[in-house]
Structure 1
Amino acid sequence: MTSTITELFASQLRMGGHRPALRSKRHGRWTTTTWDEWNRRSRAIAAALIEAGVQRGDRVAILSTTREEWVVADLAILMAGAVCVPVYPTLTAEETAYIIENSGSTVIFVENPQQFETLTTRPASTVLAQLKAIVVFDCQSLRDIPHHESQRSLTCFEVSQLVHVPSQVLADFVSLGETLLDDPEKARQLDERISNVSGDDLASIVYTAGAVGRPKGVMLTHANFAFEIRTARETLEVSSRDEQLLFLPLAHIMGKLLYVMHYEIGGVISFAENMLRAVDNAAEINPTFFGSVPRVFEKYYAVTEKKAREEGKVKERLYRWALDVGHRTAKLRRKGITPSLPLVIEHRYADKLVLSRIRSRFGKGLRFAISGGAPLAAELAEWFEAIGITILEGYGLTETTGASNINRPYRSKFGTVGPPLNGVKNRIADDGEILLRGDNLMKGYWNDPEATAEAFHEEGWLHTGDIGYIDADGMLKITDRKKDLIITAAGKNVAPQNIENFLRQSPWIAHGVVIGDGQRYLTALISLNHQALTRWAAENGRPSDPDSLVMDPEVRAMIQLDIDSINHRLARYETIKDFALLADQFSIASGELTPTGKIKRNVIAKRYASTIEQLYAKGGDPST
């Protein structure tokens, strides 16, 4: 059985190198790269890496957003027998420097001059001495990197003059490699590197975006990925006829897994221009599936609901009717019941008039979407099912190579992350912690044997740090992070993530953080959705600056209405009794969110300690 990524890639070449493999939008047009072209470019880059002094087992970093060059470079790194170290482009210079230094990376691929320039600023510049080469993907594109118009970007040449490390543009690096491969000895040397890759070799060191402390480098082998993608193909029933729209960060294990899955299934990966353009790109290329985090689904739902309300009472009633028909039809089909003829006819009209138009934003060929990285509200999954889009929620960790459980197209249950993958086992510890075991478990943490030992339970079970249970249907339900559980003064255990998921469904709320550990009742810190509230303020002739919005009694009243609605769905001890509106939005740059958008509770609790203190200063329970 094939156990390395390079072997899987070779098998795709044997099945037909002329087939489309990658698609990117360049200068307004979608261009296609075949498997043969991908192979040619990756082999050339691999040869150039070897020439630069990269040895088997060396680490090579990639600092870039999701794009075609990322996966071409990743495969080249593996062909050279080296290990890929993905780095989020949203990290600070200090965080970037830590990953490069800790991993011992000797070469780095960067996206553009802006990322290149990051390496010249302290403290990132301190790691330049360990680098043998810097390769820049694109000297023109700014893509998603924030940039102030009044500042002139340095060119690749100007930045290269600031460092004493050999630096090249990717196109030149490819040309160098192609020239090297004209030498039979160099070609033989590369072929030998490729053939010597084994399943036990490291394929990637993926740094976890920890909410507390330094990130840890998770060591994942070729065999780990081979197991995952083989199982994913069987589970999701995907094939070479499928086309995926990819926009998740490739520095995140979910994005990485979705990409490497194509080494097993074939098919086409189409790269979105960026996260903001992903839905528009879907309508252009008609993907059969894509993966996303819940926030993308939440935003699409909120925008659709808002548009329905704004189009007048007649159109809103039509939308509500169509949605109700969609819900009733989907509910029957989920139970295996054939809808009645009148309902079939009613659904046909509802779909033609409303549902198909909402659904078409994601293209005409979508079979399903995958949600991961954070909990997906069951109500949100039901809404998408009603409009005709199946969302399969999954669960996993970086330490499990991305997935351990997922709902199937033929077996799913809202509010759960589905049964385990074939070959993966779930177990619930006495304290409710989820334990996992399977061939997808990491080799360990890079240069951290103590943390590795702490991560594994007896008999090879991995501690996930998540709390949950397995229901009667064999589906895993995640209730919260073990360390995030709130224990109130009355001894009640509260899972804040569930409540925070409800809060994010409000069109006025960007993030909500539930507070209440050791307290008599729960409160919340509310970070406002500035974009939605700015539009509301303009329509109602009210000040739109953040400080004015948090003091506006109408804004507070709107938030209170949404929180009252949420409270009706919760047990009394879970209800939010008071809240504070924050003028600032949580962000990655300010340190309140991880690169994957998860809340850093400790940072927020410390930063807003005085605000939290005021919420409880009145004493007692506001509801009594």
Structure 2
Amino acid sequence: MSSIPSLLRDRIAATPDAEAYRVPSDDGWTSLSWREVGDRVRGLALGLAQLGSGPGTRVSILCSTRLEWILCDLAVLATGAATTTIYPSNTAAESAFIINDSGSTIVVAENDDQVAKLRSVQKELPDVTHVIVIDGAAGDDGWVIPLASVAASEGDYDAMVDAIAQDSLATLIYTSGTTGRPKGVELTHDNWLYTAEAVREVGLISPSDLHFLWLPLSHSFGKLLEVVMIGQGVPTAIDGRLDKIAENLGVLRPTVMAAAPRIFEKIHNTVVANMRNDGGLKLRIFEWARRTGIRVSRARQRGVPVPVTTRAEYALADRLVFAKLRERFGGRIRFFISGAAPLSQDIAEFFDAAGLTILEGYGLTESSAGTFLNRPESVRFGTVGLPFPGTEVRIAEDGEILIKGRGIMRGYHGLPEETAEALEDGWLRTGDIGEVDEAGRLRITDRKKELIKTSGGKYVAPTYLEGRIKAACPYVSHVFVHGDRRNYVTCLVTLDMEVVKPWAEAESLPLDPEELREHPRVRAEVEKAIEQVNAGEASYATVKKFAILASDFTVETGELTPSLKIKRRAVEERHGGVLDAFYS
């Protein structure tokens, strides 16, 4: 097995009639077997080869998470070419940069809207010979062709697959660019095969699971899941529509789902806010159940027996509260996986108390996304778990995490100096600060470049504080902690209007975001959360002042990356006046 297409071919040979993917349809959900997937990939690959896809070429995919994304990706790879991923939320200029920088000659676009985006910069894409549209019309000039017309039957598919070397380029993923211009990360077939092998060795999942995939496949986390599920033969239900997640969970009843921390924060805050709105006996029962569940969770983490009385209390708490929460997710979840950003320990313990354990992991695009993961039998919240088999870790003198192994990227596309800076003797400089505990689990303390150094010379970890404040107040959507080279720490807060609105209506508060953010009741709720977090911090790390913004951070406004991480520089630039006013 030397490539992702050969991995797929082995999967088809082993379990041809087993379910591979499940997709939304007019009648609910439709399944495809591995044999059917193989047939579609074969036809697309032969068609793409006729259009010029092959060894040394790149094909960009500009599309949301759906079955066709995976089929096109696998077909591109089968020709010997590499896939370049583009988020559907990227602007025309951003898309043009990635297409040109990667050297892509073919682009797969999801629909007419994405085609229009490309048409607006067509003159800036001289090397693009074809745009293949999944849901859309062909163009009069032949530049745009429908996906349905691409499949072909002539050609030697197996010969193409056999010719792919293990170290051939498979994927170009451009970093989110929280601090600067995106860089194309070169990931080989072997990088991805390593992740599939590592997950199999850990023994997390099996073909009896049902995996629900909605994460962006343009992100390394989504791509990792694609390859892992092929390797393990795990059926995957695919629907990238965020507004359908809750509904799909109830219908599909999956056993495994991965998500970014923002999703878990949203669920937690909605549940807590609803209980607060109900008040009275319901709220008291909920708070008691939560405290009881967290006692049990912490005992499990320490590996100590749970007292008989606590077990009895937990059984009652489970019946009254937690079982209902699990049912919201279909009632079959074995575990969630969290990645792409730090997960608050408070939120992780809440989910674990409810019998919905979140296995937090860690990796970078530069390490093929999967590098560390908590194991179900040895979860320790606040850590990202043990390294995958075959991955080495060490901590540099300044606390930076260094990792080495088969999952590490080949380099940055066309950037030899940046590659040399990131890689030294095979060790990847992650840019994150952390420590390894006595059991070998990694704890991330913060981004090296994002650590705040106050004017008094004290270092503060902003993402740690941000996560704790979000967990302490259910009405908060995002928190941005500020204070680099300032004499104290401050923060910006945004409200989750979907969660705030029912409470505001019940309390006869204004619903206009501008009025609501200044209301004393709202400020009191946020202030209470900040004071709760401050109580456990050293004086120099406490938030002294805060402001509530009228609108949330979004990908569209440029304040969040597509993986929902805060673009710190963009927030500082956009809200510089508010931040400066804290210190005037």
TM range (shorter): over 0.9
Q: Distance in 2 between matches of 1:255 and 1:388?
A: 25
Matches within 5 A, 1:26-105: 26-105=25-104
Pair 1:477-2:443 in alignment: yes
Please point out which of 497, 500, 503 is paired with 2:463.
Answer: 497
Q: Deviations over 1:383-412 (max 9, x none)?
A: 111100111111110000012111111222
Pair 1:126-2:123 in alignment: yes
Name the structure 2 match of 1:171: 148
Matches within 5 A, 1:454-533: 454-457=421-424, 459-505=425-471, 506-533=473-500
**Residue 568 of structure 2 aligns to which amino acid in structure 1?**
R
Contact 1:132 1:165 in 2 (8 A): no
Describe the shift of the 1:339–1:512 C-alpha distance in structure 2 as closer, same or farther (beyond 3 A).
closer
**Residue 14 of structure 1 aligns to which amino acid in structure 2?**
A
Q: Deviations over 1:406-447 (max 9, x none)?
A: 111122211011121111111111111111111111001111
**Residue 210 of structure 1 aligns to which amino acid in structure 2?**
G
Q: Distance in 1 between matches of 2:574 and 2:200?
A: 45
Q: Distance in 2 between matches of 1:606 and 1:327?
A: 40
Contact 1:592 1:604 in 2 (8 A): yes
Most deviating of 283-292 and 381-390: 283-292
Shift of residue 115 of structure 1?
Answer: 1.1
Shift of residue 340 of structure 1?
Answer: 4.5
Q: How many positions carry a matched residue from both structures?
A: 583
Secondary structure in structure 2 of the residue aligned to 1:480: strand
Most deviating of 602-611 and 76-85: 602-611
Pair 1:582-2:579 in alignment: no
Please point out which of 215, 220, 236 is paired with 1:253.
Answer: 220
Q: Distance in 2 between matches of 1:332 and 1:478?
A: 22
Secondary structure in structure 2 of the residue aligned to 1:187: coil
Q: Deviations over 1:179-209 (max 9, x none)?
A: xx1xxxx332x32211101101111111111
Shift of residue 555 of structure 1?
Answer: 2.2
Name the structure 2 match of 1:221: 188
Q: Distance in 2 between matches of 1:331 and 1:463?
A: 33
Aligned Cα RMSD in Å?
1.7
Q: Deviations over 1:530-581 (max 9, x none)?
A: 3333444433334322322233233222221221112112222111001122
Pair 1:138-2:135 in alignment: yes
Contact 2:373 2:387 in 1 (8 A): yes
Secondary structure in structure 1 of the residue aligned to 2:205: coil
**Residue 149 of structure 2 aligns to which amino acid in structure 1?**
D
Matches within 5 A, 1:28-427: 28-121=27-120, 124-139=121-136, 156-157=137-138, 160-161=139-140, 164-174=141-151, 177=152, 181=153, 186-188=154-156, 190-272=157-239, 274-427=241-394
Q: Structure 1-normalised TM-score? A: 0.90
Shift of residue 337 of structure 1?
Answer: 4.1
Contact 2:451 2:460 in 1 (8 A): yes
Q: Distance in 2 between matches of 1:307 and 1:514?
A: 27
Q: Deviations over 1:28-51 (max 9, x none)?
A: 511001101101111111111111
Contact 1:82 1:203 in 2 (8 A): yes
Q: Distance in 1 between matches of 2:495 and 2:268?
A: 17
Contact 1:111 1:136 in 2 (8 A): yes
Describe the shift of the 1:547–1:343 C-alpha distance in structure 2 as closer, same or farther (beyond 3 A).
closer
Describe the shift of the 1:115–1:522 C-alpha distance in structure 2 as closer, same or farther (beyond 3 A).
same
Q: Distance in 2 between matches of 1:456 and 1:312?
A: 54
Q: Distance in 2 between matches of 1:584 and 1:81?
A: 46
Contact 2:269 2:475 in 1 (8 A): no
Shift of residue 490 of structure 1?
Answer: 1.6
What 5-or-longer segments of structure 1 have no aligned partner?
A: 140-155, 618-624
Contact 1:509 1:529 in 2 (8 A): yes
Please point out which of 400, 425, 432 is paired with 2:399.
Answer: 432
Q: Distance in 1 between matches of 2:488 and 2:125?
A: 51
Q: Distance in 2 between matches of 1:137 and 1:317?
A: 52
Shift of residue 518 of structure 1?
Answer: 1.7
Q: Distance in 2 between matches of 1:355 and 1:537?
A: 26
Shift of residue 274 of structure 1?
Answer: 1.3
What 5-or-longer segments of structure 2 have no aligned partner?
A: none
Most deviating of 339-348 and 250-259: 339-348
Shift of residue 292 of structure 1?
Answer: 0.6
Most deviating of 257-266 and 361-370: 361-370
**Residue 483 of structure 1 aligns to which amino acid in structure 2?**
K
Q: Deviations over 1:350-397 (max 9, x none)?
A: 322321110111122211111111111111111111100111111110
Q: Distance in 1 between matches of 2:264 and 2:501?
A: 22
Shift of residue 222 of structure 1?
Answer: 0.5
Q: Distance in 1 between matches of 2:348 and 2:509?
A: 35
**Residue 150 of structure 2 aligns to which amino acid in structure 1?**
F
**Residue 607 of structure 1 aligns to which amino acid in structure 2?**
R
Q: Distance in 1 between matches of 2:305 and 2:452?
A: 44
**Residue 475 of structure 1 aligns to which amino acid in structure 2?**
R
Q: Deviations over 1:317-355 (max 9, x none)?
A: 222233333233333333444444444444333322321
Contact 1:128 1:165 in 2 (8 A): no
Secondary structure in structure 2 of the residue aligned to 1:39: helix
**Residue 187 of structure 1 aligns to which amino acid in structure 2?**
G
Contact 1:588 1:594 in 2 (8 A): yes
Contact 2:270 2:499 in 1 (8 A): no
Contact 1:41 1:72 in 2 (8 A): yes
Q: Distance in 2 between matches of 1:166 and 1:612?
A: 48
Describe the shift of the 1:433–1:334 C-alpha distance in structure 2 as closer, same or farther (beyond 3 A).
closer
Describe the shift of the 1:610–1:326 C-alpha distance in structure 2 as closer, same or farther (beyond 3 A).
closer
Shift of residue 287 of structure 1?
Answer: 1.4
Shift of residue 165 of structure 1?
Answer: 4.2
Shift of residue 604 of structure 1?
Answer: 1.7
Percent identity over the alignment is 39
Contact 2:60 2:86 in 1 (8 A): yes
**Residue 135 of structure 1 aligns to which amino acid in structure 2?**
I
Describe the shift of the 1:197–1:267 C-alpha distance in structure 2 as closer, same or farther (beyond 3 A).
same
Q: Distance in 1 between matches of 2:160 and 2:440?
A: 44
Q: Distance in 1 between matches of 2:106 and 2:100?
A: 11
Q: Deviations over 1:93-134 (max 9, x none)?
A: 11011101111111111111111111111xx32344322222
Q: Distance in 1 between matches of 2:499 and 2:313?
A: 34
Contact 2:361 2:373 in 1 (8 A): yes
Q: Distance in 2 between matches of 1:263 and 1:220?
A: 18
Contact 2:257 2:335 in 1 (8 A): yes
Most deviating of 601-610 and 319-328: 319-328
Most deviating of 275-284 and 419-428: 275-284
Q: Distance in 2 between matches of 1:257 and 1:105?
A: 22
Pair 1:594-2:561 in alignment: yes
Describe the shift of the 1:534–1:70 C-alpha distance in structure 2 as closer, same or farther (beyond 3 A).
same
Contact 1:417 1:477 in 2 (8 A): yes
Q: Deviations over 1:132-162 (max 9, x none)?
A: 22222224xxxxxxxxxxxxxxxx25xx24x
